[in-house]
Chains A and B, each alone.
With several copies, the nearest count.
Chain A
């Protein structure tokens, strides 16, 4: 099954592209460290979201050319960034006032597990090792919309969309949309609602790699990555 999925599933850039299609013009957006950062590369033409990084910058732009880095100008992943016109700096308490106060329109994070009640586990595998939470727990409880980007299954083929998270929680009932490598799934009323799936998989096969019931209402659309600027 896993091998078959590998042929039809979206890669990380394609998942990021799909998430970017839902970011509205003028939205204030926080992108988690790593994979979610790629969403910024696929901003829809004609829309100008404002990106927030929790270390105190609003309206930053892409990474500078190598050798042009200023290490006082970094994002939450400690990567060098640039500024757009109309940027602002502020201290950490003000930055998290923006987060906690509900001023961000969208936060997009990675996930280990997402439960059908919206619970998210993405900070600790619970297996010992060194815990590190960063700003994830703040973001998931407070942004107006919390979405996750994720492979639909783990490297071992286990579902990441589950009935109940077994890993330590990052937040309770916080996720409302999942952009996975196979589907777009909303969370509402304690259920997963399938909105889109990649054309190469049947509903039953998708259900088989999902750890809780996928409900539908109306049409399930094809999840197709195409158009100007779309990754291949």
Chain B
């Protein structure tokens, strides 16, 4: 078993028009910038993107929007330090937005990975974001029913990966990456180093290989935050 692929282009090759794509990261931390840019090079259209945010500056998800790949974003927080790409597309009406509370977003993704089609949460009860959703009372308290959130693909970023797909993450770059790996039909990971099986002690594996389908090494990944401060634009 060897899940590694040689190039970023090969890694994202299966992603076609109309796909739903989860993208890991929280702001720039854990964002798989190189996979995103490889996807921009390929250029599929009408993608639904699931991320905590909605892009920043002119790289990563913001560049996907600017290059016309994205028709819908599902996120908790579309604001950023430089949200011009999202804002312009949203105001132009070319980009649909679904705002989901952050914990509900995380749990809907985890539920998809765990085979839980629906669950109840107190989050958003009584608010506009609960509109149209079933409400039920348990032990005298009201809860909103939320549905799992699946994707065709997940693009994630890790630190060390082995060829069987086992992965670790660097510090807070973990965030949405492990749960998105569980929730997509095909999970595509970029890691700083691809190692032989056994390189990650079994007790330290964060994402077991069963959740990962393709892995590509990006030995010196760029950090979105630094790219934005440099004024980088992709392509």
A and B touch in the complex (CB under 8 A): yes
Interface, chain A (partner B; CB < 8 A): 25-26, 28, 48, 50, 52-59, 70-74, 78, 83-104, 119, 124, 130-138, 141-142, 168-172
B176/A137 in contact, CB under 8 A: no
Q: Counting chain B CB atoms within 10 Å of each CB, which of A48, A78, A83, A138 scores highest?
A: A138
Given the interface contacts A83-B202, A171-B127, does A48 sit within 8 Å of B211 by beta carbon?
no
- Is B226 located at the chain interface by the 8 A CB criterion? yes
CB pair B101–A74 under 8 Å, yes or no, is no
Q: Which 7 pairs across A and B sit closest by C-beta, in order of nearness?
A: A86-B197, A100-B115, A96-B103, A138-B103, A97-B114, A172-B126, A85-B198
Could you list 15 further interchain pairs (A-B, Cβ under 8 angstroms) beyond the known A52-B210, A97-B113, A136-B101? A71-B226, A72-B30, A73-B29, A74-B27, A74-B29, A78-B81, A86-B163, A86-B197, A89-B169, A92-B176, A93-B109, A93-B179, A96-B106, A103-B113, A130-B87
Residue on A with the closest CB to B109?
Answer: A93
- Interface flags for B56-84 (1: CB within 8 Å of A; 0: not) read 00000000000000000000111111010
Cβ contact within 8 Å between B179 and A91? yes
A71 nearest in chain B by CB position = B225
A-B contact pairs, 16 of them (CB 8 A): A26-B1, A50-B209, A71-B28, A78-B29, A86-B163, A89-B174, A89-B205, A101-B112, A130-B86, A131-B99, A132-B79, A135-B103, A137-B124, A138-B123, A141-B124, A169-B126
**Contact between chains at A168 and B127 (CB < 8 Å):** yes
Complex interface residues of chain B between 98 and 117 (CB less than 8 A to chain A): 99-104, 106-107, 109-110, 112-116
* Residues of chain B lying within 8 A (CB to CB) of residue A71: 28-29, 223-226
Residue of A at shortest CB range from B81?
A78
Q: Min CB distance, B97 to chain A, in Å?
A: 7
Instruction: Check if B166 is an interface residue, CB within 8 A of chain A.
Output: yes
Q: Report which of B76, B197, B208 forms a contact with A98, defined as CB distance below 8 A.
A: B208
Whether the Cβ atoms of B114 and A58 lie closer than 8 Å is no
Complex CA distance for A136 and B178, rounded to whole angstroms:
22
In the assembled complex, the Cα of A54 lies from the Cα of B52 at a distance in Å of: 12
Q: How large is the interface on B (under 10, 10 to 19, 20 to 34, 35 or more residues)?
A: 35 or more
* Distance in angstroms between the alpha carbons of A182 and B215 in the assembled complex: 43
Could you say which residues of chain B place their CB within 8 Å of the CB of A124?
Answer: 128
A95 and B106: CB pair below 8 A?
yes
A-B contact count (CB 8 A): 212
**When chains A and B are docked, how far (Å) is the Cα of A88 from the Cα of B163?**
13
Q: Which of B86, B114, B197 has the most CB of A within 10 A?
A: B114
Given known A72-B172, A93-B107, A133-B102, contact A100–B121 (CB-CB < 8 A): yes
Interchain CB contact under 8 A, A48 and B210: no
Chain A residue nearest to B116 (CB atoms) is: A100
Q: Does B17 contact A (CB under 8 A)?
A: no
Which of B1-53 touch A at CB < 8 Å? 1, 26-30, 52
Residue of B nearest to A142 (CB): B115
Which chain A residues border B114 with CB–CB below 8 Å? 93, 96-97, 100-101
Assess A96 versus B29: contact at CB under 8 Å? Given A56-B174, A90-B208.
no
Q: Given the complex, which residues of A lie within 8 Å of B136, measured CB to CB? A: none
Q: Is the CB of A28 within 8 A of B123?
A: no
